[in-house]
Amino acid sequence: MRSKFILIALGSALAGCQTGPQQDVPQMGLAAVNVPVVTSQDYVFDAAAPGGSLAPGEGDRLNGWFQGLGLGYGDTIYVDGGYAPAARGQVNAIAGKYGMVLTPGAPVTEGSVQPGSVRVVVARRRASVPGCPHWTYRSQPDWDNKTMSNYGCSVNSNVAAMVANPEDLLHGREGDAAVDARTAARAVNLYRTKQPTGAGNLQDVSPKGGK
């Protein structure tokens, strides 16, 4: 009878240890916890545009601002303000010098656009893996069979550093409405028709100065 009481007490103690909410352990799976995070920063330039066209000298100021920002691929340019199609065309022409085009619409920015002016907004996105390197937890002993705390830092940090347009990490691009089958099959056709480099005979090469 005493043995039964001991077993019941031991079972109750073990059951008491298992009560309570289970702690969420993100590293229990195979997916990396350290993943790229895309942030966005908006840069604002207000230019005088009386009558809907950029005032003299405003185009040069805007061009200098673009140069200072290092405008390039991956940035998104908007024009905000009243009905000013002429100013929008002028801004688009300046952005074209950098291989860029304007995007319809405009994000919400602080303050309002004053009458007789337009606001040029450059949205720039950056990708990074926060918290890396992450050696917070020891790899051994690992009683929960978790992945290492630094798992994913190396590969995902390289992806974040190499991606040309961080927005591509958020969503894919839409396909072009006009598709040229010849362009799509050009690489495959070249692979099939090009003669292999090792198809010919080996070249007779002698050391320099040899006979």
pLDDT digits (tens, 9 = 90+) for 86-99: 888 999 999 999 99
Residues 6+ apart with CB under 8 A from 128: 36, 37, 39, 157, 160
Mean pLDDT of 187-200: 82
pLDDT digits 0-9 by tens, 153-184:
889 999 999 988 888 888 877 766 667 777 77
pTM as predicted: 0.61
Q: How far apart are CA 134 and CA 151, in angstroms?
A: 8
Does residue 79 or residue 84 have the better pLDDT? Answer: 79
Q: How far apart are CA 196 and CA 177, in angstroms?
A: 36
Q: Is the peptide bond before 141 cis (omega within 30 degrees of 0)?
A: yes
Torsion of CA 131, 132, 135, 140, to 10 degrees: 110
Rounded to the nearest 5 degrees, what angle is found at the Cα of 68, between the Cα atoms of 64 and 73? 105
pLDDT value of residue 209: 62
pLDDT value of residue 8: 44
Domain ranges of the chain: 40-124
Structure tokens, 16? 């008491």
